[in-house]
Amino acid sequence: MEEFLMSIAGFDPTGGAGILRDIRTFWNFGFLGCGALTANTVQNTKGVKEVEFVKGEFLISQIEKVLEEVPVLGVKVGLPHRELKVNLYIKEKLEKLQVPIVFDPVVAPTFGKEFVNNLKAIEPLIDASDFLTPNEREYTLLKDFFKEKVSGKRLIVKGIKEGNRVYDLLIERGKVLAKVEHQKDSLEVRGTGCAFSSAFLCLLVKGSKLREAFKEAVNFVREYRKKSFKLKGWKQGYSLL
């Protein structure tokens, strides 16, 4: 059966992260992918040099035309648009779909130029999402800025560092439902956040229960990191998954 998931995210020209990584991950789990582009970038493994956001009307038209024809079963949102009014529109469209929405709030890359300076602009996407999947730094920013709103959401916080250990937490309304522990390593691999959130969406749509989907997505990213390589001069690895 032809089953589609949608990514609303930014473009990484290396293909290691962003919308291209989302579509590749959908395919790994047996889904077809469609998408709408929030921003274009100039970047490589050493960092993001330039960011150019798509005009709001153009992005809205992309989403409308895709959804006219494609029966989307779930949506992953990555790099958000910087304009509040655009994200308000996206919120309205997503809520009408009545499908799982996973928002990976990519407000800044691992290396390079920040994407979103005004956090207030992403509030509609937080409201529309069923799950937020921030890394530790993103979680701290969102928790400090949105406070009770974020604490009331279902969250997966990735890459919490404590000594030589790293933790991923599944949190619901402030309560930790599940925790996965990793040995800290020196690997820097592109697109781990994109791969996790896209894998998690796939598992939810396939019918996995919440804790199961969380743990399976964590395992997918563990393999994703293992199956990576670096060419000479690269700062981050590229996954073969």
CATH entry, 4-149+189-239, from 1.20.1740.10, 3.40.1190.20, 3.40.50.300, 3.20.20.80: 3.40.1190.20
Q: Tokens for 137?
A: 């730094």
Domain boundaries, the chain: 4-149+189-239
pLDDT of 220 reads: 97
Q: Encode pLDDT of 186-241 as tens digits.
A: 888 999 999 999 999 999 999 999 999 999 999 999 999 999 999 999 999 999 99
Q: Encode pLDDT of 61-96 as tens digits.
A: 999 999 999 999 999 999 999 999 999 999 999 999
Does residue 15 carry a pLDDT above 80? yes
Q: Encode pLDDT of 122-160 as tens digits.
A: 999 999 999 999 999 899 888 888 887 888 899 999 989
Q: Tokens for 199?
A: 């894998």
- Report phi then psi at 238, rounded to 5: -120, 125
pLDDT of 19 reads: 97
Could you tell me which of 186, 32, 159 has the C-alpha nearest to residue 169?
159
